[in-house]
Amino acid sequence: MKILVTGGNGQLAACIKDVSKDEKHLQFIYTDSEDLDITNHQHVADFFQNNNIDWCINCAAYTAVDKAESDVDLARKINKDGAKHLAIACKANNVKLIHVSTDFVFDGKSSALYSETDVAEPLGIYGLTKLEGEQAIQENLDAYFILRTSWLYSEHANNFMKTMLRLAETRPELNVVADQIGTPTYATDLASVMLYIINDNSTKYGLFHYSNEGVASWYDFADAIFDIADTKTKVFPIKTEAYPTPAARPQFSVMDKSKIKQAFKIAIPHWRVSLKQAIKNL
């Protein structure tokens, strides 16, 4: 099977490379924006026609949450229009799509786990354009898996875990927000689920939530990073208003993973277990 991976230089694509290195029956094409401009409908159509693709994993996204507030057009071109162009090309060429979305589609005002059927009401442009991307896929394609995830980190690229470890090299103390609650997710775990869906050649299409198990604040996450890495840096909890940002974040975005666990009979690791593995791999 031939699998196109957009956003091929990013964190999640790097994790797909890690988990697929022994999958000799799978051939991957990793593209960046220079190889495949997903914001250009004709470019996408031509690429699909010229390559005999079976699956597309869309890891390409505009993910700069704060910058998106002032860079609305580009965020929408990538997150909405790009998703739409891929969905249309997938339909025209009988390709199955795995698309990555986000917990930021929710406003965070719930105190219960968010399910796939809960109303999405994004607080910012990033979440809004990602939701528009989901809707564009649903309107143009039947053979899709939309995987909403949260707080991705890994050994690759830039992410919260690596930032905290870098800061810990020079800072004896750090203040980290403690009133935003979600679930850290090891991108390698998400990549493994994608590979499972492809190897299963699944037709259980739809919208799914996937993160690691458990609940944490950013403060909890930082504290665990320093504990597991055995650093001397002390971390202190602060409120969101003490660290203002251009984009509002959901205060609670823990997702219910029942649907994906039942559909694919998978066990999901606790976030702290996966964090230990990621730090060990570093």
How long a stretch of residues is the chain?
282
Per DSSP, the three-state class of 136 is helix
Average pLDDT (101-126) is 97
Q: Are 83 and 131 in contact (CB under 8 A)?
A: no
- For this structure, is 126 an active site residue? yes
For residue 73, give both structure tokens: 């057009």
Quick count: other Cβ atoms within 10 Å of Cβ 208?
Answer: 22
pLDDT band, residue 106 (cuts 50/70/90): very high
Q: State the Cα–Cα distance between residues 114 and 48, nearest whole angstrom.
A: 35
State mean pLDDT over 209-220: 98
> What is the pLDDT, as a whole number, of residue 62?
97
Q: What is the pLDDT of residues 169-190, one digit of tens each?
A: 999 999 999 999 999 999 999 9
User: pLDDT category, 85, cuts 50, 70, 90?
Assistant: very high
Closest among 38, 34, 3 to 19, alpha carbons compared: 3
Task: Name the token pair of 201.
Answer: 């050649």
Closest listed residue to residue 145, CA positions, set 190, 114, 78, 189:
190
Give the model's confidence band at 22: pLDDT under 50 very low, under 70 low, under 90 confident, else very high.
very high
Distances (CA, A) of 89 to 55, 147, 202: 11, 19, 19
pLDDT of residue 36: 96
3-state secondary structure of 165: helix
- pLDDT over 90, % of the chain: 98
DSSP 241-264: GGS--SS---SB--B--HHHHHHH
Q: Which two tokens stand for residue 270?
A: 């606790």
Token pair for 185: 């997710």
The per-residue pLDDT for 20 is 96
Active-site residue (options: 126, 144, 186, 210): 126
* Residue 57 pLDDT level (bands cut at 50, 70, 90): very high
pLDDT at 82: 98
Contact (CB, 8 A) for 106 and 253: yes
Element (H, E) at 215: none
Four-CA torsion 103, 131, 191, 255, nearest 10 degrees:
30
